[in-house]
Structure 1
């Protein structure tokens, strides 16, 4: 079995489950919670595009470059979004955590730090990654602040790195957490989550 095989990760507030087409309706409801596809600085599938996005992520999983998850809130069992390991480098090994979105009503619930703790723990402690990367749009200040709060350090900015769905060139901010930084990051995330109990 490849170390990057689909796996379920169980946390305090959320469970990360391997993505499948069976999650379609729950993900459509999650995206409608805040009409997230209308946010110009991120890429969340519109309801009519959800099946295509699930197929896209599963095709990348089949190629070995992505491991996609859905995020399920443990309190009520509903799906609140998606997240992935992406740009998988199985040789180093190294992953990027990205293509993440959560329903608007889940913001501030502890779901995001819990899912990041699960993904980072699995990457460092099971997969043996020496580094984990995060990327976001230069103008997505909310995402940049959230990544920095995790304890990730900014590596740099890739200017005119890619085009958004409307064709505009975007600058991409790259962050990472290194293996030796993981214990402090883990302690910080666990402390944040413990305050919510």
Structure 2
């Protein structure tokens, strides 16, 4: 399973996901500055202070085989508008998580997230043959919890005191998943939403 997760490009009508590279630093910072996303205390969005370590960690995790980070491009403007990744990868069990996702504020609620999730889930279930895909979010990130539920993922539970954040606060993490057997129905729902958006 050493070659299970390889850098790849995923492309839809409006969204294009390309492998994260160090050269994306400036444009990623510009995207994060749209809405000063790093000020949201319950998310991890890069700022000027941590962009280098953010990229280094993502690329090191990729080298370790535990993550595959993407840069998100809005094809309508050909601009970088955010980032997402496969993470907590367990190749031997054909499981992974989709997370570390964020978008410039001007691209939120645009349909771009739905298309990105469709591309990532389709690749995970149809090419990688995953048996399950997880989503995790902060208990207090209600917008994220709602968005994950709308994808068709089911809540599995809450990991209480799961993490300690940079301020020393304890984070409760809400865990969702989509199973291999559920993918066809979830896919149909996502494609229906995309057809209405575009």
* TMscore range, shorter length: over 0.9
1:162 match: secondary structure: strand
Please state how far the C-alpha of 1:48 moved relative to its aligned partner: 3.2
Please name the residue that 1:129 is paired with: 130
Please state how far the C-alpha of 1:12 moved relative to its aligned partner: 1.6
Unaligned 5+ runs, structure 2: none
Please name the residue that 2:25 is paired with: 24
Aligned counterparts of 2:111 and 2:154: Cα–Cα separation in 1: 21
1:111 aligns with 2:112: yes
The root-mean-square deviation of aligned C-alpha atoms, in Å, is 0.9
Q: TM-score, normalised by structure 2?
A: 0.97
Alignment: residue pair count: 197
Q: 1:161–1:170: 8 Å Cα contact kept in structure 2?
A: yes
Q: 1:32–1:47: 8 Å Cα contact kept in structure 2?
A: no
2:50 match: secondary structure: helix
Q: 1:83–1:97: 8 Å Cα contact kept in structure 2?
A: yes
Q: Deviations along 1:53-83, whole A, 9 cap, x unmatched?
A: 1111001101111100000001010001110
Please name the residue that 2:97 is paired with: 96
Please state how far the C-alpha of 1:107 moved relative to its aligned partner: 0.5
Q: 1:96–1:134: 8 Å Cα contact kept in structure 2?
A: yes
Aligned counterparts of 2:160 and 2:50: Cα–Cα separation in 1: 29
Please state how far the C-alpha of 1:163 moved relative to its aligned partner: 0.9
Aligned counterparts of 1:10 and 1:18: Cα–Cα separation in 2: 12
Q: 1:13–1:110: 8 Å Cα contact kept in structure 2?
A: no
Aligned counterparts of 1:165 and 1:115: Cα–Cα separation in 2: 28
1:27 match: secondary structure: helix
Misfit runs of 4+, over 6 Å: none
1:169 aligns with 2:167: no
Q: TM-score, normalised by structure 1?
A: 0.98
